[in-house]
Structure 1
Amino acid sequence: MHQTCLNCETAYTGHFCNNCGQKETHRYTVGHVFHELVHVFTHADKGIFSFAWNIIKKPGIVALDLVEGRRKRYFNLFQYLLIIVGITTFLVTQTHLIEKTVITMSKGTSTVQSSELVKLQQSVAAFLQKYNNIFQLILIPLFAFFSWLFIGRSRKRNYAENIVLHAASSAQSNTFAIATTLLMLIGKTDTHFIVLSFLSLLVILYTFTVSYKQFFQLSWIKSLLLGLAVFACSYIVQTVLTAIATVAYLLLR
């Protein structure tokens, strides 16, 4: 049976394209996403630096190519994501960045109640810092759920395809995070630290906006509003889950 390769658009028969070698593709499912994660630990590909540049410039287009079957040209997205999250987690842990951020934000408190609150905040920061990589990965399906809920369904993009989108978006934000983390180490003043912390939040919102614009073909305004909605809803859920996890951590340690 003749079919057209989704990667190079060459007509072929069989299970592999005669021109580029890509295997016949299918729509992403949760099972396929799990298979891709297993693939991370059993294969190694080439082109990671080229892929990093593509992720920085066009995360939404990369995700769109992947879900539409144009996969042969790219480094494994999930492999890159785990590598880059591992690097950022290492930097955050070694520099005690989250704890320093909390200390900087909490300066000026003097009452007993405030002091106790600061200690609690520092405990939360230490917990988030220690398990930063796990929290980074847990957020992806959470972000994906809300983007699927708000627009994915109407665009006929299933939940797994929204996971792919946010894996690309997270890969971009974590790539940027390496630079912002290093910049925080250079600064010596609290103002410098606060400005860069705020910049980090803007970077996350920027990655959402760009990813949605490219993936769903939205305007900048609609992409920004969607990014704000997804981030706000996810932040509320994240705060509740973090509180539960932190209480359990403090009770069991």
Structure 2
Amino acid sequence: MNITCKNCHQTFKGHYCGNCGQTAETHKLNLHYLWHDIQHGLFHFDSGITYTAKQLFTRPGHSIREFIEGKRVKHFKPISLIAILATVYITLIHLLHINLFTETEPSATSDYSIAIEKFKEWSISHFAWITLLSIPLHTIGTKICFRKQGYNFIEYFVLNTYKAAQKLYISILFIPLVYYYNGTPTIAVLTNITLLIDFVMYFWTNVQFFNRLSKIKTFFLTLLTHLIFWIIAILITIIAILILNKA
């Protein structure tokens, strides 16, 4: 039986494409695929990180949609990419002794202030896990706002995983500036700039990914997605601070 490769469109027989090497079966993105990707990300190192980085900053939405539809040979797997980028970022932060938060005044010694400081320290030491946690939170908003576009939750999870990778790439690129202004109020300005860039990239990715929607509709749905994310994230943060305050 002849099979048409979803990656290079060559016709072949067997389990692998003789032209590009992609497997004959590219399963639908679901929980089984996600679990396999997590296992691969923990125990293997794959090629394609440079190719994926280029795609995420030149044609992000199109490349992610192609990955979901089965064109996966050249792409770095999403969970693996996040794990590596988060590790690189937090390693640089620790090695350069960069403080990403505004320091609390010495006079502010209330239990609430102490809990906030504990939360800051905890968030830095668990940065990779927090990054992973933010992905399903974004995915909830995406699933709600773009529910009519025909993708399942795991496919939206993959979309938001690559968006998180974009954010980490940008954060790593800003490390020299953050290091230069470390310990100054400019850190807060740089944080706001990166948040703005993140939103622009998020919107641009959505425009390409949901290319059947108008840009105006995509813009407002993207805003709503962010609003849902921040509401959930703030609630979780408040709960975490209250827990640390009692600890």
Q: TM-score range by the shorter chain?
A: 0.7 to 0.9
Contact 1:78 1:167 in 2 (8 A): yes
Alpha carbons 2:119, 2:244 under 8 Å: kept: no
Which has the higher mean CA deviation after the structures are superposed, 83-92 or 31-40?
Answer: 83-92
Question: What do you get for the CA RMSD once the two structures are aligned?
Answer: 2.3
Determine if the alignment matches structure 1 residue 97 to structure 2 residue 99.
Answer: yes
Partner of residue 52, structure 1: 53
Q: Which runs of 5+ in 2 are unaligned?
A: none
Contact 1:2 1:13 in 2 (8 A): yes
Residues in 1 aligned to 2:209 and 2:196: alpha-carbon distance in whole angstroms? 20
Which runs of 5 or more structure 1 residues have no equivalent in the other structure? none
Contact 1:59 1:172 in 2 (8 A): no
Q: What letter corresponds to residue 86 of structure 1 in structure 2?
A: T
Report deviation, 1:26: 1.9
Equivalent pairs counted in the alignment come to 243
TM-score by length of 2: 0.87
User: Which residue is 2:222 aligned to?
Assistant: 227
Secondary structure of the equivalent of 1:97?
A: coil
**Match runs of 1:112-131 below 5 Å:** 116=110, 118-131=113-126
Residue number in structure 2 paired with 1:193: 187
Note if contact 2:115-2:244 (Cα within 8 Å) is conserved in structure 1.
Answer: no
Say if 1:243 and 1:188 are closer, same or farther in 2 by CA, change over 3 A. closer
Distance 1:250 1:191 in 2: 27
Deviation at 1:150, TM superposition (A): 1.1
Structure-2 residue corresponding to 1:132 = 127
Query: Structure 1 residues 165 and 41 mapped into 2: Cα distance closer, same or farther (>3 Å)?
Result: same
Relative distance call for 1:70 and 1:144 in structure 2 (3 A) is same
Q: Give 2:239's aligned residue.
A: 244
**Is the 1:4–1:10 contact (alpha carbons within 8 Å) kept by the matching residues of 2?**
yes
Note the C-alpha offset of 1:221. Answer: 3.1
Q: Is the 8 A contact 1:60 1:168 kept in 2?
A: no
In 1, Cα distance between equivalents of 2:164 and 2:99: 19
Runs (4 or more) in structure 1 with deviation over 6 Å come to: none
Secondary structure at the counterpart of residue 3 of structure 2: strand
1:1-253 to structure 2, matched below 5 A, reads 1-23=1-23, 24-94=25-95, 95-98=97-100, 101-103=101-103, 116=110, 118-151=113-146, 153-187=147-181, 190-217=184-211, 218-252=213-247
With over 3 angstroms needed to count, the CA separation of the structure-2 counterparts of 1:226 and 1:88, relative to structure 1, is farther
Query: Once the 2 structures are TM-superposed, how far is the Cα of residue 118 of structure 1 from its aligned partner?
Result: 4.1
Question: In the aligned structure 2, how far is the partner of 1:171 from the partner of 1:86?
Answer: 12
Indicate conservation of the 8 Å contact 2:79/2:161, yes or no: yes
Between the aligned residues of both structures, percent identity stands at 25
Q: Deviations over 1:6-44 (max 9, x none)?
A: 101122233222322211212100221111111123333
Alpha-carbon spacing, 1:34–1:102, altered in 2? closer, same or farther (3 Å): same
Residue 124 of structure 1 contacts residue 246 of structure 1 at CA under 8 Å; is this kept in 2? yes
Describe the superposition over 1:136-193 as per-residue Cα deviations: whole angstroms up to 9, x where unpaired. Answer: 1011111112111211x31111111001101110001100001223312212684422
CA distance in 1, matches of 2:109, 2:245: 17
